[in-house]
Amino acid sequence: MTATTLSPARPSEGGSAVRRVVALAKLEMTMLVRNKTALFNALALGPLMVVLINSFQMPGMNENRSAFVASLLGSLVVFAIVFAGYYNLCTTAVARREELMLKRLTVGELRRWEVLTAMAAPSLSVILAQVVLGAVAVTLLVGAPTVVNPLLMLLGLLLGFGALAVLGYATAIITRTVEAAQITTLLPLAVLIFFSGATFPFALMPDALRTVAELTPLAATNELMTLGLTGTTADGGTLDFVQSFVGGLQPTIVLLAWIAIGGYLVQRMMPWEPRR
Amino acid sequence: MLDGMNAPVITASGVRRTYRGSGAPFEAVRGVDLRVEQGELFALLGTNGAGKTSLLEVVEGIAPASAGEVRVFGQDPFRQRAQVRARTGIMLQEAGFPADVRAGEMVTTWAATQSRRSDDDVLAAVGLSHRAGVAVSSLSGGERRRLDLALALLGRPEMLFLDEPTTGLDPESRRDAWSIVRDRLDDGVTVVLTTHYLEEAEELSDRLAIMHAGRIVRQGTVADIVADEPARITMTIPSDAPAPPPLLGSTQLERGSTGTRYVITTPQLQEDMYTLLSWAREHGVSIADLDARAASLEQAFLSIAASSGAAAQPEPAAA
């Protein structure tokens, strides 16, 4: 009876959940690194965008350099989490479902949220790399940014990624194939980016529209990034380190709410095997 | 147990499973009672769409039962998933891999997600050691099936669920898979297996159940199930021979060029054979193409499928 001589399975959680997530995340990272072209494209995107945006000599850019740097870095984070986060995780989830990998994972010890967490690891790594490389490019081309509250920036990046990742998985609920993801993500992408504050200035929006825009996850992320970098609020006020935490409260709550809403939808409705 | 039987590893009573899709609800499992004992191999047979996989998924804890109760190791496999899963190995009828993953990586990853560690070389056990570095997309269908089996064996589960484990395997690999399963049985592992190969069920199972239209219609050892089925005698008697004696079984005749072909279906094989052979010797008749055989599992299976065939309903693909 060799089977019974093994150490008995402990139903303890905690450490074993981390171990399971790390194991699967490692596999996802292996696949990411294996695809050299995609990896290069993903990493080159950050610095490339900085170079590109910097080349448009915008009016007022030289007078208020710190605001320009902030908006550049804000845009970088916004585009990183929307494409490498939202879009990428929607297609990854659909691909893993199509190839019946998700179904396989339901028969192991991994829980569903553990699978989704592990699947997000390559996305988060790519985003962090994009932001770091982009920040290096900004420093070289425009100058080093002065940071008011780096913790707030990190919080914005992580919560923003979390919200967009969960929304990517939620979009996978209504996406049957990887090809279909190009269509199902189109409207959410347009809405998210338009209201992000990175493409269409809030100052030009009517008040009512701006109130709505501030409730979208990309705008909240952008706000936390800007606040962390320069201490300036969306209304143009300037805050110091301590005040910036208070100013960051609303966008933090907005992002947590999106994580809760998306998480609920995914938990209730996400199919784990293809519908045929 | 008072009666000296082994402790049950799986018990199920009144299990039902209903699919509620866009159309009318479909009941794939319609009240199943099961009892699988420690260390036995229990085979679940049935026609396509009989509800085998739907039932298995409930017992495996992948899906909850719509009604009824299932216990594996005394626990609810769906609600107490973590405890039950650590002790079971599951090979699904259909599961995939990301195309870029290599066989060895898949094994390493799967092992690292399990709470039980064993350093068994499962790839070697299924004869895939030499393919460890190959992308899963480059493996043949049979090799992928063997990788599925290897993953189910990881962590030395006390209970194995094998859903059509040898579909797509060549005869040699199938025999290899059987010997792997037998080794586990020798180690005291309990196995639940579904298969379309009746030979496989005859070869491996201690007990089996035949499902049809969501219900278990026959259950027992191969001998139990076959015992209810009549035996068959076939023979050809020359045209000039006298008429054969009356037999206990029923006879069908076909006239051929060299004589008359008899197909006799009988519940009393020994008795009818004695009558026939005595008659042949007495009258000096030389019987051609004589064949007498007890019922096979296949015959039992086919007669069950045919007798309730009209009641068959299609099953959704998810089942």
Closest partner CB to A19 (pick from B95, B112, B317): B112
Given pLDDT bands bounded at 50, 70 and 90, which one contains residue B107?
Answer: very high
Q: Is the model's pLDDT at A128 over the cut of 60?
A: yes
Predicted local confidence at residue A63, as pLDDT: 63
User: Helices then strands (H, E): number in chain B?
Assistant: 10, 13
Q: Does A36 lie at the interface with B, CB-CB under 8 angstroms?
A: no
Closest partner CB to B110 (pick from A3, A100, A108): A108
Q: Which has the closest alpha carbon to A118: B113, B115, B116?
A: B113
Q: Which has the closest alpha carbon to A109: A17, A29, A27, A26?
A: A17
How deeply is B223 buried, as exposed, middle or buried, from its count of CB atoms within 10 A (0-12, 13-18, 19+)? exposed
Contact in structure between A167 and A217 (CB atoms under 8 Å): yes
Predicted local confidence at residue A162, as pLDDT: 98
Q: Which has the closest alpha carbon to B289: B252, B233, B236, B232?
A: B236
Q: Does A242 lie at the interface with B, CB-CB under 8 angstroms?
A: no
Q: Does B185 lie at the interface with A, CB-CB under 8 angstroms?
A: no
- DSSP class of residue B246 equals P
Predicted local confidence at residue A146, as pLDDT: 80
Q: Is the model's pLDDT at A158 over the cut of 80?
A: yes
Closest partner CB to A100 (pick from B62, B96, B158): B96
The whole-chain average pLDDT of chain B stands at 89
Closest partner CB to A1 (pick from B86, B114, B187): B187
How deeply is B217 buried, as exposed, middle or buried, from its count of CB atoms within 10 A (0-12, 13-18, 19+)? middle
Contact in structure between B133 and B102 (CB atoms under 8 Å): yes
For chain A, the structural domain boundaries read 21-269
Q: Does B76 lie at the interface with A, CB-CB under 8 angstroms?
A: no
Q: Does A35 lie at the interface with B, CB-CB under 8 angstroms?
A: yes
Taken as a whole, chain B contains a residue count of 319
What value of ipTM does the predicted structure carry? 0.87
Look up residue B89 and give its two tokens.
């190995």
Instruction: Give me the half-sphere count of Cα atoms (radius 13 Å) on the Cβ side of residue A148.
Output: 24
Given pLDDT bands bounded at 50, 70 and 90, which one contains residue A202?
Answer: confident
Q: Chain A window 74-113: which residues touch B at a Cβ cutoff of 8 Å?
A: 95-96, 99-101, 103-104, 106-111
CA gap B170, B296 in Å, rounded: 23
Look up residue B88 and give its two tokens.
């079971």
Strands (E), A129-227: none
Look up residue B180 and give its two tokens.
């792997």
User: A107 vs B92: CB contact, 8 Å cut-off?
Assistant: yes
Q: Is the model's pLDDT at A25 over the cut of 60?
A: yes
Contact in structure between A153 and A225 (CB atoms under 8 Å): yes
Q: Is the model's pLDDT at A41 over the cut of 90?
A: no
Which of A5-9, B274-278, B281-285, B286-290 is predicted least confidently? A5-9
Quick: pLDDT tens for A47-56. 888 888 777 7
Instruction: Using an 8 Å CB-CB cutoff, list chain B residues near A269.
Output: none
Strands (E), B73-152: 88-91
Q: Does B60 lie at the interface with A, CB-CB under 8 angstroms?
A: yes
Contact in structure between A254 and A211 (CB atoms under 8 Å): no
Quick: pLDDT tens for B222-260. 989 988 888 989 999 988 888 889 988 888 888 877 788
User: A100 vs B60: CB contact, 8 Å cut-off?
Assistant: no
Q: To the nearest whole percent, how much of chain A has pLDDT over 70?
A: 90
Residues A75/A80/A81/A83 CA torsion (nearest 10 deg): 120
Quick: pLDDT tens for B279-296. 999 999 999 889 998 888
Q: Nearest chain A Cα to B101, which residue?
A: A31
CA gap A99, B36 in Å, rounded: 33
Which of A111-120, A141-150, A169-178 is predicted least confidently? A141-150
